Amino acid sequence: MTTGQTLRLGVNIDHVATVRNARGGASPDPLRAAKLAEAAGADGITAHLREDRRHISDADIEGLAAALTVPLNFEMAATDEMQAIALRHRPHAVCLVPEKREERTTEGGLDVLREEARLGRFIAPLREAGCRVSIFIAADRPQIEAAQRIGAQVIELHTGAYCDAHAEGRLAERDAELAGLRDMAAFGHGLGLEIHAGHGLTYDTVGPIAALPEIRELNIGHFLIGEAIFRGLDPAIREMRRLMDAARGAV
C-alpha cells in the first residue's frame, strides 16, 4: 500500500436536517446542500440516520441514494433496523458508529472488542452487498486490531478529543491526542486498513490531521454547516478543501 495519496473530503450534512427539523418543514433541504457540496468539491456525502431520526430522515437517505453522483457514506448504529435499510440502498460506504439516545453527538468510538463476534456477523452481509464497511473508532491499538479481525476495510479515527483539547486550550493534551492519532493511523495502515478521520474538525484543527500521510478521507460536518451561515456553504467547503490540500503539501 502507498501513502501520501490524495485526501478525500466527505461532507456531513446532518445539521442541515437539524435546522430543517427545528421547524418541521422541508427547508433547508439536506439534498440541496449535498448537491451544493458536490459542486464545491466534496468527494463524498456523509449522513447519519439515527435511531431517533433527530436530523436525517429515511426519506433523506432515499433522496441522497437516488440523486448523488459522489459516494454516499451511510453512518449508522449496528442494529437490525439500520442493517436492513443499508442493504436496501447499498450505499458506497457504511460507517458503524456507537449511538446513545441521550448523547448530543457521537461521543466515542465503537467498542469493537466488547462485541467482536456480533459485529463480525453484522458486517458480513454488508460487505457481501458491496458496501465498504468502516468502523468509527478511538485511536486505540486493541480496538483497531479487532476492527481488522472482523473484516472492516476502513477505520475512521475519532478526532473529537483532539479537537476539544484544542478548543479548550489544553495544548499538551491536544498534542498527546495528535501523537496518538498519528501512531494509530500508521498502525492501522500497516494492518492493511484504509484510514479515515473525523469529528469536531475545524479550520484551526484540520491541518495536522490532513498532514498525516496514511489518512485517505476526512468527514466534516458541524463546523462547515455553521460556517456556511457566515460565508455560504460553497466557500466554506472550498476553504476546508484548500486547508486540507495545503497541509497535505498538494498545493
Does 206 contact ligand PXP by CB under 6 A? no
Residue 230: CB atoms within 10 A of its CB come to 8
158 is catalytic: no
Torsion of CA 207, 208, 210, 213, to 10 degrees: 150
Torsion of CA 43, 54, 100, 93, to 10 degrees: -20
Judged by beta carbon, residue 160 or residue 213, the one nearer ligand PXP is 160
Using the rule CB under 6 A, give the single segment among 36-44, 118-126, 179-187, 218-226 that binds ligand PXP: 218-226
| C-alpha distances out from residue 247 to 22, 93, 105, 124, 179, Å | 36, 26, 27, 36, 16
Q: At closest approach, how far in Å is the CB of 136 from ligand PXP?
A: 4
- Restricting to residues 39-98, name those near ligand PXP by CB under 6 A: 48, 75, 95, 97
Does 122 contact ligand PXP by CB under 6 A? no
Site string for ligand PXP, 133-162 (x = CB under 6 A): ---x-------------------x------
Residue type, 129: A
Beta strands at 72-76 and 44-48: parallel, antiparallel or unpaired: parallel
Does 30 contact ligand PXP by CB under 6 A? no
Q: Which residues contact 116 (CB under 8 A, 6 or more apart)?
A: 146, 149, 150
Residues that bind ligand PXP in the complex, under the rule CB under 6 A = 12, 14, 48, 75, 95, 97, 105-106, 136, 156, 198-201, 219-223
* Catalytic sites, residue numbers: 48, 75, 199
